[in-house]
Chains A and B, each alone.
Chain A
Amino acid sequence: MHPRRFFPAVAIGGGLTGFVLALPILGDVLRCAMCIGVMAGSLLSMKLWLDAHRAENLTPIDAAMLGACSGAVCGAASWIVSVPIRLAFGHALSDFFMERAFLPDFLKVNLRGLYTDDFASIFMSLPLQVVLYGVMGALGGFLGLQYVFSARREAP
């Protein structure tokens, strides 16, 4: 099992998903749907890798590893993209959401919390986010192989 063989598919799939999740407003909407965004990133990475390696199939371990790499990249990319946004536009975005009458109060409070973290919290959230997204990505990769790309599952 060599995680490096899943690059650049996981870098593209995870990076793209992380970028989208970090975008204000669009990412905030996607975030409300639990961890589906991260799992979708694992599926995208898996599709990219399978399309590029048509003669190869994946074992459950490979699928979980691919998904974990994709999730970790997604978490890191999301963090990298969101830091300048949070630091530069955090308060403006927070005010923007607070003024939107159509948003439920709980969502406003959550979004305000997301955009007004102190720097120490933002910094410490990176390793947590990478591990958390990596674990969710591993589950997404495994379930993706079982349900979406089952034809490409390597026979035991």
Chain B
Amino acid sequence: MKGLRAALAFVGLLPWIRGLANRELHASLGGAIDAAFFALCHHAPERTLVLGGDVMCVCSRCAGLYAGVFLAAVWPWRASPAILRIVLPAGAALMMADILSQDLGLHAPWHPVRLATGAIVGFAATAWMLSEMVGSGRRGRHGDHGEALAG
């Protein structure tokens, strides 16, 4: 579980490290991070945040999503799966509403909304997964203990 949390935190933080430490990173390492994220995001300039004068390697919605993944990975409390089961589709519906209204030309890309909707979905999905995994791990251990006692 600790390894998974570490991997989630690393992945969630990576685009932000790339954006914030852009000038300090070796060019090849920066290029490697870009190459890894190129396959996962369109990062259109008008939909991407600019940090320190350079555009991030992912769009603002994906940046929010990765931030949500990071927050869920380092979140010290176990969130209720029942609540997250509702929060995730609600967040996804908000995100879809923003995507549709933006792509229909009703408004320009709003970075705060893009960040927030991405973060809700990223946090809810990751926290739900971790919460269920902790739950089934506990049930598994209790089950094994029960079987051992019965045996």
Give bound CA distance, A122 to B36, whole Å.
Answer: 9
- Tell me whether A135 and B133 are in contact (CB under 8 A): no
- Tell me whether B132 and A117 are in contact (CB under 8 A): no
- Tell me whether A31 and B39 are in contact (CB under 8 A): yes
Chain A contact residues (Cβ within 8 angstroms of B): what range? Answer: 35 or more
Please, which residue of chain B has its CB at the minimum distance from the CB of A156? B139
A120 → B minimal CB distance (Å): 4
Q: List 5 other contacts, CB 8 Å, given A135-B11, A143-B125, A156-B135.
A: A35-B41, A61-B137, A117-B35, A131-B7, A136-B11
B58 → A minimal CB distance (Å): 9
What residues of A have a CB within 8 angstroms of the CB of B46 in the complex?
106
Give bound CA distance, A35 to B85, whole Å.
Answer: 21
Please, which residue of chain B has its CB at the minimum distance from the CB of A116? B31
Give bound CA distance, A114 to B34, whole Å.
Answer: 8
B56 → A minimal CB distance (Å): 13
- Tell me whether A142 and B31 are in contact (CB under 8 A): no
List residues of chain A with CB under 8 Å of any chain B CB.
21, 31-32, 34-35, 37-38, 59-61, 64, 78, 104, 106-107, 110, 113-114, 117-118, 120-125, 128-129, 131-132, 134-136, 138-139, 142-143, 146, 156
- Tell me whether B11 and A122 are in contact (CB under 8 A): no
- Tell me whether B40 and A136 are in contact (CB under 8 A): yes
Please, which residue of chain B has its CB at the minimum distance from the CB of A139? B125
- Encode B16-45 as 1/0 by CB contact (under 8 A) with A: 000000000000111111111111111111
